[in-house]
Amino acid sequence: MAVIFVTGSDTGVGKTHVAGLLARRLARDGFTQVIKPVESGAGAGRPADADKAAGDWAEAHTLVSLPRPIAPLAAAKQARKKVDLATLLKLYRALPPAPCRVVEGAGGVAVPLDPSGKDWADFAAALRPTVAVVVVADRLGAINQSRLAIAYLRRRYDGPVGVWLNAPKKPSKEVAASNRAGLAAAGIPLLGESGRGPKSVRFHFLPR
């Protein structure tokens, strides 16, 4: 089973967009699921992230849906729902099997999922994905964001990991070049790139 875990350096960096690109690519090789373990701010006419990423080519699963658009633990408390690492892993493992999965986290990699402080790095360590993809906004500051997020993730997760640079707003050529040079100098694999149009998408690894 191919499992790609998608997390980010922050909220709003394009995780769902990248998850959709990965799901569409994986669907060429077989039945694919897009899984969102927990989402806050869902509903009220807003499509769930898993549904957006799955599109017409994958099966969507949101394991815990919370109405308030705030951090998962705070949203769970308001909704009087239980959210912790053990619960999310139990729900994940109860899903029907699939040859390909894209699992998208909520917010940044250090967002707490558990009252004890466990977060997406702990989730990744338990999940043991084929690869963990950290989505970073392709702008000035991306090198710092990438280094911080990867270093944090590696404190608990020792599997394959790299960065995907996503640019809703195209950076200058100088900034784009320096971001890629900075990742290379830090020994951080660049797994992919994307922008606003389909021609901007580049896979630097083969998701399977």
**Domain limits for position 72:** 2-203
Q: Which residue has the higher pLDDT, 208 or 199?
A: 199
What was the pLDDT predicted at 29?
86
Lowest mean pLDDT of 106-115, 134-143, 144-153, 191-200, name the range. 191-200
Q: Is 36 a residue of the active site? A: yes
Does a structural domain hold residue 208? no
Q: Which single residue is written with the structure tokens 């590696």?
A: 154
Does a structural domain hold residue 95? yes
DSSP string, 152-187: HHHTT--S-EEEEEE-SSPPPHHHHHHHHHHHHHHT
Q: Which of 15, 36, 77, 81 is catalytic?
A: 36
Average pLDDT over residues 142-157: 98
pLDDT tens-digit readout, 113-131: 999 999 999 999 999 999 9
Total tally of structural domains belonging to the chain: 1
Tokens representing 139? 């702008």
Does a structural domain hold residue 59? yes
Asked if 150 and 160 count as a contact pair (C-beta separation under 8 A), the reply is no
pLDDT tens-digit readout, 164-187: 999 988 999 999 999 999 999 999
Spatial distance between the Cα atoms of 35 and 54, rounded to a whole number of angstroms: 9
Does a structural domain hold residue 119? yes
What was the pLDDT predicted at 208?
66
Is the predicted pLDDT of residue 196 greater than 90, yes or no? no
Residue 102's CATH number: 3.40.50.300
44 — pLDDT class (breaks 50, 70, 90):
low
Does a structural domain hold residue 141? yes
Average pLDDT over residues 105-110: 96
Does a structural domain hold residue 15? yes
Does a structural domain hold residue 121? yes
Spatial distance between the Cα atoms of 79 and 173, rounded to a whole number of angstroms: 45
CA distances from 94 to 63, 99, 135 (A): 10, 15, 27
Helical H segments across the chain, by residue range: 15-26, 49-54, 72-79, 85-93, 120-127, 142-154, 173-186
Average pLDDT over residues 105-113: 96
pLDDT tens-digit readout, 51-84: 999 999 999 999 999 999 999 999 999 999 999 9
